[in-house]
């Protein structure tokens, strides 16, 4: 059984107008008869009219009749004006609301490219339309990421599963034997299978604020050198120079910082891995630190790599975002390392930002 349909916007607005008009006219009538008639009677007596005379009776009756006619005509005109105003206002408001409703229905049908134009029905309605367009843009991008993520995950899982299936079939048929080499290959494929699962779990924990920190005082220089040492071999393989600079600019760095050593190592690892991945052979990646204006520590990772466009830069910290969608996971990353890094830095009470002058310029991430 369908619930009873509520009255439309026009009917409710007209009803509200009518209630205001009727209440106003009734208030005027009460004032006219309770206060106006005694005042009129008193002034007639002061003017010399005899109490109880026919002149006094007819004058007061004329006052009452005139008041009733005036209030009646005023009520009729007010009702007509309310009807015209309500009709005009609802017509003006119904069009943008209808467009918003139609756009919302299109969105529910999966057409995330739907947008609504400026309505011209007031600042509030225009703000609603702008918020709707912002929501639609984010949903469109989320859907785009979801569609791109599923084939990526399928591709990442397909290869190790296929390799494990071949080895298991060979072991069952007696074609292969389980030795050190076979165990190594199967272990690598199992690690490759678990890596996407761990990445997804990490980004979920990060975005839900479930990261547990074990803080300790760590010297800034030791933190930087530990991160650089972990990434130095990868830089050498790519022909990229990795350099550490402590206090390259700004105020001197404080001796220690209160951080989770493992988590901050994970952040530096993600930032350096991202910088090395996008820096061509012969380029340079610089890991530096300096003191901030409020006594905090600013850690920078800069590279002389490809650079990012102005369209890519606002989305660099979004989950599963890759600067180049043509790259596979081994060459392009999973797209969630920077998302996890930002969540870890924010859990420490800091911020993580990115800057780039554009393609061909040097990228820089600061935390």
Residue 2 inside a domain? The answer is no
Q: Domain boundary at 58, 88, 111, which?
A: 111
pLDDT of the residue at 61: 77
Of 32-46, 203-217, 266-280, where does the model show the most confidence? 266-280
219 and 203 in a common domain: no
153 and 270 in a common domain: no
221 and 358 in a common domain: yes
323 and 199 in a common domain: no
Residue 90 inside a domain? The answer is yes
The pLDDT tens digits of the residues spanning 72-86 come to 787 778 777 777 777
170 and 34 in a common domain: no
146 and 229 in a common domain: no
- DSSP letter at 255 equals S
234 and 200 in a common domain: no
Residue 118 inside a domain? The answer is no
The pLDDT tens digits of the residues spanning 208-267 come to 667 778 889 988 888 898 888 888 888 888 898 898 887 654 444 457 888 888 888 888
290 and 188 in a common domain: no
232 and 349 in a common domain: yes
346-352, long-range: CB within 8 Å, 24+ apart, which pairs? 347/206, 347/209, 347/211, 347/213, 347/263, 348/213, 348/259, 348/260, 348/263, 348/264, 350/296, 352/267, 352/317
- Domain around 184: 124-207
pLDDT of the residue at 252: 44
CATH number for 268: 3.30.565.10
87 and 145 in a common domain: no
Residue 4 inside a domain? The answer is no
Residue 1 inside a domain? The answer is no
Residues 96-113, mean pLDDT to the nearest whole number: 81
104 and 64 in a common domain: yes
The pLDDT tens digits of the residues spanning 156-181 come to 778 788 888 888 888 888 877 888 88
308 and 237 in a common domain: yes
pLDDT of the residue at 59: 77
Q: Domain boundary at 84, 111, 138, which?
A: 111
Residue 119 inside a domain? The answer is no
Residue 363's CB is within 10 A of a number of other CB atoms, namely: 24
List Cα–Cα distances, 183 to 121, 146, 173, 176, 238, in angstroms.
70, 35, 17, 11, 29
CATH number for 198: 1.10.287.130
Q: Domain boundary at 174, 207, 240, which?
A: 207
The pLDDT tens digits of the residues spanning 328-340 come to 444 444 557 787 8
pLDDT of the residue at 325: 42
What are the backbone angles phi and psi of residue 249, rounded to the nearest 5°? -160, 165
Residues 63-74, mean pLDDT to the nearest whole number: 77
d(CA 267, CA 349): 14
Residue 117 inside a domain? The answer is no
The domain tally of the chain equals 3
The pLDDT tens digits of the residues spanning 125-145 come to 778 888 888 888 888 877 776
% of residues, the chain, pLDDT over 90: 0
Residue 146 inside a domain? The answer is yes
Higher pLDDT, 120 or 165: 165
């Amino acid at each position: 059984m369908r619930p009873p349909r509520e009255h439309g916007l026009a009917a409710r607005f007209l009803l509200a107008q009518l209630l205001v008009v009727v209440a106003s006219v009734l208030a005027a009538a009460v004032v006219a008869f309770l206060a106006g008639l005694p005042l009129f009677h008193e002034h007639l007596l002061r003017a010399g009219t005899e109490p109880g005379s026919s002149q006094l009776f007819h004058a007061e009756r004329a006052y009452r009749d005139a008041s009733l006619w005036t209030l009646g005509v005023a009520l009729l005109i007010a009702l007509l004006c309310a009807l015209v105003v309500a009709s005009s206002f609802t017509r003006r408001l119904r069009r943008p609301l209808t467009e918003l409703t139609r756009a919302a229905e299109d969105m529910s049908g999966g057409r995330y490219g739907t947008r609504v134009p400026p309505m011209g029905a007031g600042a509030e309605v225009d703000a609603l339309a702008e918020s709707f367009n912002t929501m639609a843009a984010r949903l469109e991008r989320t859907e785009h990421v979801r569609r791109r993520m599923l084939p990526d995950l399928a591709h990442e899982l397909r290869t190790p599963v296929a390799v494990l299936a071949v080895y298991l079939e060979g072991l069952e048929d007696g074609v292969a034997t389980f030795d050190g080499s076979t165990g190594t290959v199967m272990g690598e494929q199992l690690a490759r299978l678990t890596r996407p699962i761990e990445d997804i779990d990490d980004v979920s924990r990060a975005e839900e604020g479930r990261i547990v920190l074990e803080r300790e005082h760590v010297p800034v220089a030791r933190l930087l050198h530990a991160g650089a040492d972990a990434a130095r071999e990868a830089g050498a393989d790519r022909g990229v120079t990795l350099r550490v600079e402590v206090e390259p600019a700004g105020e001197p760095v404080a001796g220690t910082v209160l951080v989770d050593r493992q988590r901050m190592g994970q952040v530096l690892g993600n930032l350096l891995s991202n910088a090395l991945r996008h820096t061509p052979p012969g380029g340079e990646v610089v890991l530096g630190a300096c003191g901030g204006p409020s006594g905090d520590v600013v850690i920078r990772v800069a590279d002389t790599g490809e650079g990012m466009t102005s369209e890519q830069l606002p989305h660099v910290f979004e989950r599963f975002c890759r600067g180049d969608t043509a790259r596979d996971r081994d060459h392009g990353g999973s797209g969630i390392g920077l998302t996890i890094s930002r969540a870890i830095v924010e859990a420490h009470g800091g911020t993580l930002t990115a800057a780039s002058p554009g393609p061909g310029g040097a990228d820089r991430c600061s935390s």
